[in-house]
Structure 1
Amino acid sequence: MYIVKKRGLLFILAAFSPMFLWAQTNLSVKVVDKDENKPLGGASVSVVGSLANGQTNRQGNILFKNLKDGSYTIRISYVGYKPVEKKLVLPSTEEFIVSLSQQEFIADEVIVNATRANANAATTYKNLNRQDIAKNNLGQDLPYLLDQTPGVVTYSDAGAGVGYTGMRIRGSDPTRVNVTVNGIPYNDAESMGSFFVNLPDFASSVDNIQIQRGVGSSTNGAGAFGASVNIQTNTRVDTSYAELDNSYGSFNTWKNTVRIGTGLINNKFTFDGRLSRIKSDGFVDRGASDLKSFFLSGAWYGKKSLLRANVFSGKEKTYQAWNGVPEEKLFGTAADIEAYISANGLIGEDAENIRNADPRRYNSFLYKNQNDNYQQDHYQLLYSTSVSDKLNLNGALHYTRGRGYYEEYKTGAAYEDYGLAPVAVGDSTISSTDLVRERWLSNHFYGITYSGQYKASDQLNLTLGGAYNEYKGDHYGDITWSRNPLFERAAHEIDKGAFDTRYRYYFNDAKKTDFNIFAKGEYQMANFSLFADVQYRRVTYSFLGFDRNLNNVQQEADLNFFNPKVGMTYRFANNSQAYLSYAVGNKEPVRDDYENSTPDSRPKAERMQDIELGYRLSTAHVNMGINGYAMLYKNQLILTGQINDVGAQTRMNVPDSYRLGLEADVKWQPIRTFSWALTGALSSNKIKDFYEYINIYDADWNVSDQQVNHYERTTIALSPSFVGSSELAFVPVKNGEIAFISKYVSRQYLDNTSNVDRSLDAFFVNNLRLSYQLKFKSVKNIGLSLLVNNIFNEKYESNGYTYSSIYQGDPAVYTSNFYFPQAGTNFLLGLNVKF
């Protein structure tokens, strides 16, 4: 009851705190074109030192309320015009008119405009600028830098946010979160996941990020079934710079970053670069990471055109920690651990490891090279041109090269599992061996994206865009060492007792093409803005899978999707707005769904209808967004445990499921030296009818049957009913800040049965951030930062998995739960020097 009251109070404060403020002085601003004196609708206006910001209406006007008397600086920007800052003194009875001159150069922001929501869009979104991202950028991966945004839950295999990390938004896993970099798809084309470990320290080259929750606006890449994360990398910097960014923290974590930039050369060229290294031993035993990356960018700015080339790469070596910790080890007694050892046949070092390891840091892997090794190189060529005052064109060519493997030590591996015959040695026959294998992925992803934006009139904006992308990937596995011979050998060779070899035991390739085209329009009349967006997407996937005769042959699947979206926004006089939107999203199955099924059992594509209703308010002291949503699924793909016609447990379609929620995102700044940011996300995430299938094993440990259990209105796995965050920030001295950061996540179920015995407990974690900025004559800025995570040493797990079985006629269900414990109190200390 206490937890319910606590999270309810947090949400109420987040949603209704603006009601306690009273207006004092109004500020009316009008933005016009300097040459033609015409109003500029959609110009961004902010009052420096307060939270007041927004966009002008079609008449070029914006009204700010609740400003105290005094001196202010207002900042105005508009795409295609030079940004300006103006000083004013309140109170004033006159309208403040600002004239903008057309920009000599086209701005980098036009590159992502076609796939982003603007300030008046009927879409639920959150914008983060470079300063927001940099505050916590001390070595943890990108998902952890987004942790304070609504509905986000982050997790880390190694427990401290370095290495393999991920995030869920509105309960949707990474395969349902669309990620783009400069409008170019980042999700893996086959698994559809986003592996940020492949781009370590990428946040240091990011200028801004927009997170759209729900289906969002039309974008490139896989369909968004929970959110879209739209990343824009570095933009133009006119002055030369050099920056050193170093941090050290718990678990021997190091981050070293060098950034340099030429500034604007001859009023036309800029060059920027970054080199990074991150190393950490990890919280989990042997959960070490060795990460390297670089980012290079060069741009040419013409009067009406922009050409930018980006080359960036990441290389990771990460010790595997993806098995998690079994429940018997984490929460059980010594007797429970011995039972686990017996049931899983652990002997020798493996048995001693689970007996003696720290329960929260246990890692089942002991082999010294149990590493994941991967390198990913990205090449982007971005072009934008202003054909006229009414028409802008954007295009991009891209190529991504990925290759790598993970190495595993397997004990007692059966020859037949690798397509090998038993080996005769004298009078004996060897049918199994210990071995080391590498499982490789080598892929190419390339294509083109394009868009055109046409301003038909002051009331109507039109956009046409799309993309064509191709993916080619080779999947193969090599045995690199075996204790026993893989093939017939001479007697003197067998005496050696171990065999270095390279035998390829599987190979298959895949090709996927993804074409989409979209058109959208925005029409403004009076205080209304109407929005419509239609997208056609065609996916073709060629893969190795089973046919109806259970032969493993190359096959092809073709899918066609139509995704319409409509919405409307109403602007109130107090710089607030209400919006309503309806969108449809479709999404194809992932690689495993296709490979491990036949045309008769192959799952259908998922479909979702998304309804968003929200209200946004911006005043001098409060920025607020509150919204409700309904995400209604048809044929959502989930794990049920059911075995299909090829004996595989792949995801199955459930006819009807939904997510209903209410979200709030509020920042309150009553004075310049204090602010309180709150988010809250209440949700109900249900499957109307769920059938669980549990394997029944016979005496020979073969699956003889399956037990079926039926559930009604059960909760979708790993979908908490409440996620809340808080950041209290105080500026005790000039250039210094203290921030107290909190995150609460309610209970999460590991499967879709709503069984408390298969769940993650709720957790409430608090962090402390201290920062101070210094300036000297020869140094532009010296920044000191200290981030203390989990200051109250909360013992919690943010991710896990489960499976159940019935053995040898025993009617009891045996359930195995595995958890990923997160680190206790730990710190990161940073030093940033700018020249």
Structure 2
Amino acid sequence: MSKQITTTIIIAVLMPLNLLAQFNISGKVIDKENHDILIGAHVSLNELNLITVTDENGNFSFENIKKGTYTLEATYLGFKTYSTDIKVTKDTKINIAMIMSSLMEDEVIVTASRVGEKTPLTYSEISSEELKRSNQGADLPFLLQNTPSVVVTSDAGAGVGYTGMRIRGSDLTRINVTLNGIPVNDAESNLVYFVDLPDLASSVDNIQIQRGVGNSSNGAAAFGASINIKTDEQTTEPFARLSSTFGSFNTLKNTINFSSGRNNNGFNFNGRISKINSDGYIDRAYSDLFSYQLSASWSDENDFLKLMIMNGKEETYQAWNGTPKDSLATNPTFNPSGMMYDKNGNFIGYYENEIDKYDQSYYQLHYAHSFSQNMTLTASAFLTTGKGYYENYKNDKSFSSYGLPSFVIGDTVIESVNLIQQKWLDNKYYGFNIAMNHKVGRFNLNYGGSWNRYDGDHFGIINWAEYGVPLNYRWYENTGNKQYYNAFISANYELNRHLNLFAEMQYRHINYSIDGIHDDLNDVTQRHLFNFWNPKGGIFYSINDNNSAYFSVAYSNREPNRDIYTDADEIQRERVTHEKLIDYELGYSHRNRKMALNANIFYMDYKDQLVMTGEINNVGNTIMTNVDKSYRLGLEGSAAFQFNRYFALDFNFALSQNKILNYVDYVDNYDADWNYLGQMENNIGTDDAACHSTDAACHVPTTDISFSPNIIGGLNFKVTPINHLDIVFQEKYVGRQYIDNTSTLSRSLDPYFVSNVNINYEWKQTLFKDLNFNLSVNNIFNSKYCSNAWVYKAIVGGEEYIEDGYFSQAGINFMFSVIVGI
């Protein structure tokens, strides 16, 4: 009897210890055909959300794994996905032999615009899984805001509609964006309007963000960063997925993704349909968005062919004027757009059709051919079309400003009228890219080129007036034609197992012409020709299995935007020159199975950077002018820790100084009755009153570059209390941003700190392939902040006069989504 009691006690004590026992899983990943080790293969335990990467010997391991049955999965580019169930009751060793895919993968189409693991450039990568967890209707910039040095903004205040982003203080005009290697930036403005590609994130397979000059073999010049987007997740299994999201501000998003899966003959068909509606946080700032994407591809062992069509339609109520600063405290959602007045200047309401409406389509054809394992050709042709307008109600506008005579009724001469105008853009952007990847011994070569042409028609229509204006009168019309081609060659040489050398040269030729009359009735006909050589080089040093370092130097040139030319008079057009940048990058990386650390120092040395100085042309338009010397100097860092199966942490930060040397500011000068007296130079200092007095007495050699915070930080803390449930706490800090280049405290955005919580639960059941629930609570502490602004300043009767617009962001708000996959 006593033995039975003793045995029972022992079992009772040992059983929970057995349940708590933890084991290790390890192994090696090789090519099944030739037994070569596969370095950098991704190995995962799906149930535990654990992922590791094989080291230079092909080895992997997971530590402290509880007893149980798990799905072990391995992926490697060019190989079929390996998946098996393993039962863990002790330390387990498993060797994975992967089978090379007999079909070419579509990753080859972005080879020319991507950098590899041993390229000495600064970059981050975002997978489709990361995007899915946060994709609840906001534009793509908001899904990228947790990457280093990124600051985002939304005109409507909630991430839907017109959005923008800056990387290292550089806006989208200086960020080269490509979609499957095809340029996305508008050829004239260099801007990217993600609102024209609603729900693009639902079509994305992965994104690579290169900070600094980057590897811009195609597209616009990268003066701050490059964002390389690849669409269509590749799968051998057919699927259909419905995502439905609703939340604050009457936001509703519905998306259907589907795929035939790649069959044995290499054919695959993918698609997406999305509809997004939101009232926005700002008054009347609604968004009505629709998009679809279709792609068909075929591949065999040596060839890949893909056709993709993507279309986006947007209608948004204008919110780009912002909220005047004096309204922020009492009415932060106030939107002055569309305000109407009677003849006596009394406010009578808002014009309901003060909208922006645009339709854009992307057509892409990609082909790749593998001559051998060491040589691959890729070629792409594309056509991007866009057509749309924005409409404004105009109060008391003079007939002469539209090239019309005064309206005469009997003996009465009427000089002005209320009217509705539309400004149109109808454009086509087309071209082709071609590139060759060639491995010769220790050399990995990429070389190729592209040819692109842009044809844009700009015109304005008065579609209603009280009197005196012909129906659909067109008061201006001009065309913009931009043709450019480039050629590039890059080489990565593996000197030994530790040291890689990198070099690249790009040549860009640009021929840009503008013909016709601008909206201010000035003739803007002009021609501009550029020839740019953009070299870069660097070294990558692998210290050991866990540590590496790199250094690079890159030189880049960038042509001025359309507005810089159309807003300048003839004398200033002759003065404006292109911008130049030398970018120095020094980085270090440490990785092991539980953490990853990255740090880099950058110095971006600008020559002739174009900035707003307050200077105007001879008809009163504000223009951008070249400043001789400016720079960005900073330290970026990021870290990721997987403490165990329950807790994970990643964070990033950027500390920087962003300066213009010997900057001179200009202000308009009026007398007390608003008679224009001309412009005055205003040397910048730190004292508002002194620096905006009529004698302009302040003399300080440097000033801060606008919208370039000295501190940016982000943090994600993930808790997985049970299998398939993730709770992520997100924090974002952005330091003070000056909204002009005068370093004036009263014209700056206060620092802000925003906290979000994201809860994701994957319900494992038998009815659906996937069933996910996601709840996001944004700005949980209801912070009041602005993320963007503009300002106009003048001197009137010796006193400072200010007009401005600030972009308030939403307080606490939520989004809830359900994703069903079959």
Q: TM-score, normalised by structure 1?
A: 0.87
Deviation (angstroms), 1:623? 1.7
Residue 315 of structure 2 is matched in structure 1 by 317
CA offsets, 1:722-755, max 9 Å, x none?
1111111111121111111111111110101110
2:364 corresponds in structure 1 to 380
Does residue 535 of structure 1 match 2:485? no
In structure 2, the partner of 1:684 is: 657
Deviation at 1:595, TM superposition (A): 1.5
What per-residue deviation string (whole Å, max 9, x for no partner) do you get for residues 600-625 of structure 1? 42211111111111112222211221
What does residue 445 of structure 2 align with?
462
> Out of 432, 449, 452, which is 2:433 matched to?
449
- Of residues 527, 545, 550 in structure 2, which corresponds to 1:579? 550
2:414 aligned with 1:427: no
Mapping 1:545-694, distance limit 5 Å: 552=523, 554-598=525-569, 600-602=571-573, 603-645=576-618, 647-694=620-667
User: Deviation of residue 700 (structure 1)?
Assistant: 6.5
Q: Distance in 2 between matches of 1:818 and 1:617?
A: 44
Structure of higher RCO (CA pairs closer than 8 Å, 6+ residues apart): 1
- Paired residue secondary structure (1:642): strand
Corresponding residue for residue 474 of structure 2:
504
Cα distance, 1:562 vs. partner? 0.8
Structure 2 SS opposite 1:131:
helix
Alpha-carbon distance in structure 2 between the residues aligned to 1:778 and 1:90: 30
Shift of 1:238: 1.1
1:25–1:245 CA distance, 2 compared to 1 (3 A): closer
* 1:309 CA displacement: 0.6
Deviations 1:674-699 (A, max 9, x none): 11111111111111111100001246
Partners of 2:568 and 2:232 in 1: how far apart?
A: 43
Q: Residues 251 and 299 from structure 1, CA distance in 2 versus in 1: closer, same or farther, beyond 3 angstroms?
A: same
Measured against aligned partners, the alpha-carbon deviations of 1:394-420 in whole angstroms (never above 9, x if no partner) come to 111100110000110000010011010
CA RMSD of aligned residues (A): 2.9
Tell me the amino acid that sits aligned with residue 371 of structure 2: V
Q: Please list the CA deviations of residues 50-103 of structure 1 after superposition, one character each: whole Å capped at 9, or x if unmatched.
A: 87645755xxx3566995588998755444333435879999999x87554432
Q: Supply the distance in 1 between the matched residues of 2:765 and 2:277 (Cα, whole angstroms).
A: 31
Query: Which runs of structure 2 are paired with 1:337-486 in the superposition (5 Å)?
Result: 366-457=350-441, 459-486=442-469
Q: Which runs of 5+ in 1 are unaligned?
A: 1-23, 354-364, 488-500
1:174 lines up with 2:172 in the alignment: yes
Report SS of the residue matched to 1:112. Answer: helix
Q: Which amino acid aligns with 2:254?
A: N
Mapped to 2, the partners of 1:631 and 1:78 lie a distance apart of 36
**Which residue pairs with 1:490 in the alignment?**
none
What letter corresponds to residue 531 of structure 1 in structure 2? F
SS of 1:776's equivalent in the other structure is coil
Structure 1 Cα separation of the partners of residues 23 and 704 of structure 2: 49
Residue 230 of structure 2 aligns with an amino acid whose one-letter code is Q
Of 459-468 and 820-829, deviating more is: 459-468
Give the 3-state SS of the residue equivalent to 1:506 in structure 2. strand
The equivalences for 1:486-501 within 5 A come to 486=469, 501=471
Q: Is the 8 A contact 2:589 2:599 kept in 1?
A: yes
Distance 1:66 1:682, change over 3 A: farther
Q: Which residue does 1:793 correspond to in 2?
A: 782
Q: Write the distance in 1 (CA, Å) between the matches of 2:541 and 2:74.
A: 22
1:305 aligned to which of 298, 303, 306? 303
Q: What CA deviation, in whole Å up to 9, does each residue of 1:117-154 have, x standing for no partner?
A: 11222111111111100111111111110011111111
Look up the SS of the partner of 2:125 in the other structure: strand
Q: Structure 1 residues 352 and 739 mapped into 2: Cα distance closer, same or farther (>3 Å)?
A: farther
From 176, 180, 183, the counterpart of 2:181 = 183
Question: Which range is displaced more, 84-93 or 189-198?
Answer: 84-93
The match for 1:777 is 766
Aligned 8 A contact 1:187 1:222 in 2:
yes
* Contact 1:63–1:575, Cα closer than 8 Å, also in 2: no
CA distance in 1, matches of 2:53, 2:560: 40
Shift of 1:778: 2.5
Return the alpha-carbon distance in structure 2 between the equivalents of residues 476 and 97 of structure 1: 66
Q: Any stretches of 5+ residues in structure 2 without a counterpart?
A: 1-21, 685-700
Residue-by-residue CA offset, 1:271-308 (whole Å, 9 max, x unaligned): 11111100011111100000000011111112211111
Q: Distance in 2 between matches of 1:51 and 1:530?
A: 33
Taking a change above 3 Å as real, the CA distance of residues 545 and 53 of structure 1, as seen in their structure-2 partners, is farther
Question: d(CA) in 2 for partners of 1:784 and 1:73?
Answer: 22
73-82 or 110-119: bigger deviation = 73-82
What is the aligned partner in structure 2 of residue 20 from structure 1?
none
SS in 2 for 1:584: strand
Matches within 5 A, 1:754-833: 754-807=743-796, 810-833=797-820
Alpha carbons 1:52, 1:619 under 8 Å: kept: no
Residues 668 and 154 (structure 1), Cα distance of their counterparts in 2 relative to 1, 3 Å cut: same
User: Does residue 516 of structure 1 match 2:486?
Assistant: yes
Letter in 2 for 1:440: W
How far apart in 1 are the matches of 2:477 and 2:390? 15
Residue pair 1:62, 1:575 contacting (<8 A) in 2 also: no
- The code of the aligned residue for 1:570 comes to Y
Q: 1:81 to 1:482 in 2, by over 3 A?
A: same
Which residue identity lines up with residue 539 of structure 2 in the other structure?
M
Retained in 2: the 8 A contact 1:51–1:618? Answer: no
| Aligned equivalent of 2:228 | 230
Worse-superposed segment, 64-73 or 625-634: 64-73
